A and B are shown apart, each in its own frame.
Chain A
Amino acid sequence: MSSPRRLRSGGADVAAAHPGDRRKTNEMIRTYAAVAAGGMIGGVTRALVSLASTALWGGGFPFGTLLVNIAGSFLIGFYATVTGPEGRVFAGPLQRQFFMAGFCGGLTTFSAFSLETLLLAQGGKFMAAGLNVVISVMAWLAAVWLGHIFAMRLNRLRGSGQ
């Protein structure tokens, strides 16, 4: 269970492989419930941010989607590392599924990003569409990296005594 391998699965590695076993089935139900609960909270947060963004900045550029995707990338990078094998915070598999696959997955959205880019292009705003793609991808990756770096620092700070 090295940390990169753990990261790579994106938190989707706990679903039970043997549903015949009752204990495994219970575990699977709890996992799906955790993912659904996190997804609900993430999805509603995204909807509210989107509403607020339209109210604040208008509908000309999809700032709301950009914002939630950056926030979700930062949070998953931070959380995965701070609760990882060398992390300072313990989180069980259910908590990780709730937060990573559920909340962060629900908060962020690739489909709305794609649709909004298409609508910008269809409206003749090719510059805005292109900028949306470039800025989004760069900002997502910078955010997940920053979250990871912050968590590494935190791990090292508090972990030096142990």
Chain B
Amino acid sequence: MYHLLLVCLGGAIGAMARFFLSGFVARRVGETFPWGTMVVNVSGAFAIGVVAHAVAREGTPAIWALAVTGCLGCYTTVSSFSLQTLALAREGEWLRAGGNVLLSVVLSLGGVTLGFAAGSLLIGGGAP
């Protein structure tokens, strides 16, 4: 129950941070391509890599619940990614739709790998 409350708290922060940043990027760069969602997902993947290296899931479940399941889990999103890809495809923008899928997946997987490596360089401690 205590851990679910921490997920709640982290989730509120993560969701608001995503809403702010994705909206900010979308307004700045324009909305012909969903850069806002991509920025959020790639930065979230990098962050989860760093945290996953620093925090042992079994050893500190409270930090994991707050930062990983709650905050970073709610910060990143698949639903907006799917909806925006569908919208591009419906407009016949197949190249952009495919590019969004490919870029999001490749950059997020690259981000988490880099984050994990950065975590081991900076912190050096307990891999999960």
Q: Which of A35, A114, A144 contacts B112 (CB 8 A)?
A: A114
Instruction: Evaluate contact between B19 and A35: CB separation under 8 angstroms.
Output: yes
Asked if A150 is at the interface of the complex by the 8 Å CB criterion, the answer is: no
Query: Which listed residue, B23, B45, B52, B86, touches A141 by the CB 8 Å rule?
Result: B86
Contact of A77 with B83 at beta-carbon distance under 8 Å, contacts A35-B15, A110-B44, A110-B104 already known: yes
Contacts of B95 in A (CB 8 A): none
Residue of B34, B73, B88 with highest tally of chain A CB at under 10 A: B73
Restricting to A112-158, which residues have a CB under 8 Å from any CB of B? 112-115, 117-119, 133, 137, 140-141, 143-145, 148
Q: How many residues of B contact A (CB 8 A)?
A: 62
What residue of chain B has the Cβ atom nearest to residue A136's Cβ? Answer: B78
- Residue among A8, A13, A75, A114 with the highest chain B CB neighbour number at 10 A: A114
A111 contacts the other chain (CB 8 A): yes
Interface string of B1-37 (1 = CB under 8 A from A): 0011001101111111011101100110001001011
Q: Determine the chain B residues whose CB is within 8 A of the CB of A140 once the complex forms.
A: 78, 81-82
Query: Do B86 and A75 touch across chains, with their CB atoms under 8 A apart?
Result: no
Interface residues of B (CB under 8 A from A): 3-4, 7-8, 10-16, 18-20, 22-23, 26-27, 31, 34, 36-37, 41, 44-45, 47-49, 52, 65, 68-70, 72-88, 90-91, 101, 104-105, 108-109, 111-113, 116, 128
